[in-house]
Amino acid sequence: MSKLNKIALQILSDGRGILAADESNGTMTKRLDSVNVPSSPENRLLFRETLFSSDGMKDFIGGVILYDETINQTSSSKQTIPELISASGAVPGIKVDTGAKVLAGSTEEKITDGLDGLRERLQRYYNLGARFTKWRGVYNISDKYPSKLSIHSNAHALARYSALVQESGMVPIVEPEVLMDGDHSAETCLKKTSEVIKKCFEELIIHKIDLSGIILKPNMILAGTASNKKISSEEVARLTLKCLKENVPSNVPGIAFLSGGQTEIEATQNLNLISKYNDTNFIMSYSYGRALQKSALKFWSKDLKDMDGTQKIFNHRAKMCTLAAQGKWSAELETK
């Protein structure tokens, strides 16, 4: 077993998942604005530290993705944030892309930036304690999108990123996110997501990536948010498994889904069925941002000092997601 494979398995073992707490300051400001909390470095740290020091971290979370600001912060217990995360048994990770920018040649689409100086930044993050990383490519669905240009260029960037990350001794999370926005059907989502993932693996293979040392972070196969042809969780699970079976090489150890704007319950219920019907070798788990933090953030915003109350909400959500990653979740457990 390679060192990178060992890290990937450590993050996703026993139903553990990933807490995606890597919102950029811009995105975190939107999240905090939505609950009327000022977005200061202190408040961003306080909310995150509240989650990172919860009991749920020990039992359910195998990895935490951080943003540059947070990985450089120190907790109130004087531990650095990566030390606080490691103390709970989870692996610290870091978002290393610098965001999605306008794609020259197809200006309604995006290309993810961040390759310049990446080798040096990775060294610094490794020294701060990170052992895995994230890079997100983003794709829109419409009649003409995602274009061949966006599919090719984002796959190429994800592969160049992955090569540098593995060279630095860390596990790359490869995140091609096909957005839920639009009125497309689930069949269209299946077709476009399959094209995107297929191309990513073609490029990863050209760039000599050790596929046993990556984690894939895809979207689930869903109808668009504005579609009037919503599908059941059973169908989501069936189509998502079909997409992954057909396009992901079998030596990839684990798949950790993004929540992408689904509600907490939708993201949990869909993951539960994907795991229950999982007839592949892939570990199926989660790497949720909003679907792990939304209720906790709302509760916390009422009293920023109520650590216990906020942690209780987070612990419950993380437990539900971990049960779902094992196919052991049921709706009744939500109210217990």
Active-site residue numbers? Answer: 175, 217
Q: How far is CA 218 from CA 41, 83, 187, 257, 285, in A?
A: 30, 28, 16, 5, 11
Degrees (nearest 5) of the Cα angle 324, 177, 83?
65
For residue 100, state whether it binds ligand 13P (rule: CB under 6 A): no
Degrees (nearest 5) of the Cα angle 192, 208, 145?
15
Nearer to ligand 13P, 82 or 260 (CB): 260
End-to-end Cα separation, the chain, in angstroms: 40
Binding mask 135-174 for ligand 13P (x = CB under 6 A): -x--------------------------------------
Nearer to ligand 13P, 30 or 328 (CB): 30
Nearer to ligand 13P, 20 or 45 (CB): 20
Closest approach of Cβ 305 to ligand 13P, in Å? 26
For residue 47, state whether it binds ligand 13P (rule: CB under 6 A): no
Q: How many helices and strands, by DSSP H and E, does the chain display?
A: 13, 10
- Note whether 332 and 320 are within 8 A (CB): no
For residue 20, state whether it binds ligand 13P (rule: CB under 6 A): yes
Closest approach of Cβ 66 to ligand 13P, in Å? 11
Interface residues for ligand 13P in 262-291 (CB under 6 A)?
288-291
Interface residues for ligand 13P in 290-319 (CB under 6 A)?
290-291
Q: How far is CA 11 from CA 3, 46, 210, in A?
A: 13, 24, 17
Specify the amino acid at residue 194.
Answer: S
- Contact positions vs ligand 13P (CB under 6 A): 20, 136, 175, 258-260, 288-291
